[in-house]
Amino acid sequence: MTSTGSEHAKRLARLLRDDLAAAGVPIPHSLALELIAHQVGAKDWNVLAAALTGSQRPEIGAGIPVLRVMSVASALPFYVGHLGFRLDWEHRFEPGLPVYAQVSRSEAVLHLSEHHGDGSPNGVVWIPVADVEGLRQELLARPGARMRPGLDVDAPGGPTFEVIDPYGNVLRFAQPGRG
């Protein structure tokens, strides 16, 4: 655990010490720490403290796919206009250099990059949705919708439909746990 695990154990030791003192059995804080360590199966407080501060694996956040596009300006009508994402930000190091942008909708976050080294077109992103058929119907109802994705109800990740961006990147929208 992290230092929060160590702090929690120290709070438990203070609580134990206070409860015993209220019952007429005062003990030093160091003994309370040793007793907490023994209660959880550690040899002593030093062993428990080391385990609590050193054994936790680092947290890893959700990944953000980077999709290669030749022109963010050409990709935005698809992502913002058709799929209903919003443009969160754009970045370029200086005028005339490639654009790197973020689009998002609900919990889905995608990075669109004009940079040559950032992936290649024809990537695939699997995106979970709560109501895959509702999203599909929303996209089909958009004015000028040229894509008419079908729904694969037997897909391994749950009912799924796919759309392809102007650069060949595939977005797979799936409803996990259904079907």
Q: Are 119 and 111 in contact (CB under 8 A)?
A: no
CB 39 within 8 A of CB 15: no
How far apart CA 169 and CA 123 sit, in angstroms, is: 5
Residue 98 DSSP one-character state: P
CA distance 117 to 114: 9
Give this prediction's pTM. 0.67
Domain map of the chain by residue range? 3-54, 66-174
* Assigned CATH class of 66-174: alpha beta
Q: What does 149-164 look like in DSSP terms, one character per residue?
A: ---BTT-TTSSEEEEE
Q: What's the confidence (pLDDT) of residue 175?
A: 95
- Which residues have CB under 8 Å from 9's CB, separation 6+? 33, 36, 37, 40, 48, 49, 52
One digit per residue, the tens of pLDDT, for the chain of length 179 reads: 344 777 888 888 898 888 888 999 888 888 888 888 888 888 888 888 878 776 556 778 889 999 999 999 999 999 999 999 999 999 999 999 999 999 999 999 999 999 998 988 899 999 999 999 999 999 999 877 677 788 889 999 899 999 999 999 999 999 998 55
The position carrying tokens 């950032």 is 118
